[in-house]
């Protein structure tokens, strides 16, 4: 969790979260107001902050989604595409636990240029290739499953539909999309992690944590159907198939 702690303590993050009350009042992100540019443009223009952010997101995402490594059945999957997979820490864990799998790590060029050492270890590297690009434009073709772990919560519904549509168009026949996300309860039940994350997404980037019904809605708009939700220790796997 070291990288995540460093990000929480960084000036960029502290100055943004200081305006949480304004985001709640207005219902929109405040990052651009505070820093003069949207969050993703800021990251591209500030490599030092982006590096801290990327490592922090790698750390927290691997903690939140670790249960899917053994909790989700990849038995009938041959090629897993990790979309927005960062430096590949989660993908390396999945490949190590499932020796029959081949993987594709896909993220921005500046991110995948510094892959996690675990992804280069013997027994994993030869089953994985690395590709770079923007999932807002396209994703690698031919995967049996497209994993987006703590990715779509960063984006509003329209952009999420755009990404999911790319996955649907690229995946092999019978393929599926796996969203590893912390779900918000449908009712007023307490869920501190999901609701804190929901506020964080609001402040930074107009994203949000979603309920099962909200996932079903963006899936339908993308030509997909919510098949099931596989619960995890923190994050669950929302499985989508072609409608």
**Sequence-separated contacts (24+) of 113-122 with Cβ below 8 Å:** 114/87, 115/87, 115/88, 116/58, 116/86, 116/87, 116/88, 116/89, 116/92, 118/88, 118/89, 118/92, 118/93, 119/87, 119/88, 119/89, 119/91, 119/92, 121/92
Number of domains composing the chain = 1
Q: 69 — phi, psi (to 5°)?
A: -55, -45
Is residue 209 within 8 Å of residue 197, measured between CB atoms?
yes
C-beta neighbour count of 99 within 10 angstroms: 9
Maximum CA extent, the chain: 51
pLDDT at 220: 98
Just list the catalytic residues. 153
- CB neighbour list of residue 73: distance below 8 Å, 6 or more residues apart: none
Structural domain boundaries enclosing 213: 2-242
**Cβ atoms within 10 Å of 190's Cβ, excluding its own:** 7
**Cα separation of 146 and 124, whole Å?**
18
Q: What is the CATH number of the domain that holds 194?
A: 3.40.50.150
Give the Cα-Cα-Cα angle 77, 79, 84 (nearest 5 degrees).
115
pLDDT profile of the chain (243 residues), mean per 10 = 91 93 93 92 91 86 83 94 92 93 94 84 88 97 96 95 98 96 86 89 92 97 97 92 97
Among 151, 175, 150, residue whose Cα is nearest residue 162: 151
What DSSP character marks residue 227? E
Report the pLDDT value the prediction gives residue 6, as an integer from 0 to 100: 95
- Against a cut of 0.95, is the pTM above it? no
Instruction: Output the pLDDT for position 114.
Output: 83
Q: What is the per-residue pLDDT for 131?
A: 96
pLDDT at 213: 96
């Amino acid at each position: 969790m070291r990288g995540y702690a460093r990000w929480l303590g960084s000036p960029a993050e502290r100055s943004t979260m200081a305006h949480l009350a304004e985001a709640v009042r207005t219902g929109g992100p405040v990052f651009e107001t505070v820093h003069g540019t949207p969050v993703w443009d800021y990251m591209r223009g500030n490599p030092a902050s982006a590096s801290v952010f990327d490592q922090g997101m790698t750390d927290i995402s691997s903690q939140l989604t670790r249960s899917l490594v053994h909790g989700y059945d990849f038995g009938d999957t041959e090629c897993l595409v990790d979309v927005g997979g960062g430096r590949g820490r989660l993908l390396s864990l999945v490949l190590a636990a499932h020796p029959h799998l081949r993987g594709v790590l896909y993220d921005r060029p500046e991110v995948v240029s510094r892959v996690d050492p675990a992804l280069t270890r013997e027994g994993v590297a030869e089953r994985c290739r690395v590709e770079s690009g923007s999932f807002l434009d396209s994703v690698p073709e031919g995967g049996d499953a497209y994993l987006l772990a703590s990715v779509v919560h960063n984006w509003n519904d329209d952009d999420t539909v755009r990404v999911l549509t790319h996955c649907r168009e690229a995946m092999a026949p019978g393929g599926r999309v796996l969203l590893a996300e912390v779900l918000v309860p449908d009712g007023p039940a307490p869920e501190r992690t999901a609701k804190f994350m929901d506020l964080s997404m609001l402040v930074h980037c107009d994203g949000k944590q979603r309920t099962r019904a909200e996932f079903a809605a963006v899936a339908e708009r993308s030509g997909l159907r919510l098949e099931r939700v596989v619960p995890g220790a923190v994050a669950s796997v929302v499985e989508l198939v072609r409608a």
